[in-house]
Amino acid sequence: MTELTTTSGQPVARFAFGTMQFGGKADEDQSRAMFDACRAAGIAHFDTAHVYTEGRSETLLGSFARAERDALYIATKAGYAGGASRENVLKTFDESRWRLGMDAVDLLYMHRWDDETPLDETFETLADLQTRGLIRHIGVSNYAAWQVMKAQAVAAKHGTRIDVIQPMYNLVKRQAEVEILPMCAAEGILPVPYSPLGGGLLTGKYVQGDKAGRLVEDDRYAKRYGVEAMHATAAALVSLAAELGTDPATLAVAWVAHQAAAPVPILSARTAEQLVPSLAGMDYDLDEALYDRISALSATPPPATDRLEEA
């Protein structure tokens, strides 16, 4: 399994923070407060992307990280808009480095699969960036398992490999268990999943009738998490958390981290106060019995076989 270290060689804790809200829902002061809360909790891995908040996320993260760059692990993404061509990857990555105020980053993801650009072109470009010392690790986000393995074979031709994958994974979105997480365990690829709280659903806020937030304000999230069974799982998690005297977000984060492939959950929030229950999940004592109990709150997806009667 890929092991992440800071540029100074120190191991990176098994949790990350996603800065998608920096410069958007979170203003500069709120963003700084979350960055500081993460550092106080021991998080060194920070995740951003070229497209987040029209570049403000990278700019703010870069300003916060500058004083302790060698103690951090910085990831960004390219290729969400404009595709994965060499020209677009190099252009947007240069913009990302300028915004971050960094000559190099620790991890560069391809943000999503691009059917239009040959994999040879994309991964030759990434290999070149790696050889030049501008990135340390290569990652992919939102790829299917077959796409990862196809790309991995191409990467090998260029003397490199995919080290990290960033899939969606949480208690109500468990498709990654079918092929992606088993692939990671078998191939030594580190899973760094986003949305451990299901866009806020697993915090319990919508169970309590909250009328604000992404599931209400963003059509994509409303569609993604608009399934009745998902809301029933969220309600059950709220009840279980109350029984245990903790927060549902704490359980949701700890559950993702406990999965057998040893994922690195990407925590996120809009304010430092909102982040507190997720940070508590980093140290929550989740034993196998409780893990199984939480898992039972949602449907386990069937394995990747057409012979389910033998599974």
Q: Of 52, 73, 109, 143, which is the active-site residue?
A: 52
284 is catalytic: no
DSSP sequence for the chain: ----B-TTSPBPPS-EEE-TTBTTTB-HHHHHHHHHHHHHHT--EEE--TTGGGGHHHHHHHHHHGGGGGG-EEEEEE-SSS-S-HHHHHHHHHHHHHHHT-S-EEEEEE-S--SSS-HHHHHHHHHHHHHTTSEEEEEEES--HHHHHHHHHHHHHTT----EEE-B-BTTB-GGGTTHHHHHHHHTPEE--B-TTGGGGGGTTTTTT---SHHHH-HHHHHHT--HHHHHHHHHHHHHHHHHTS-HHHHHHHHHHHSTT----EE--SSHHHHHHHHHTTS----HHHHHHHHTTSPPPPPS-S-GGG-
Residue 113 makes CB contacts below 8 A (sequence gap 6+) with 140, 142, 143, 144, 147
Q: Which residues are catalytic?
A: 52
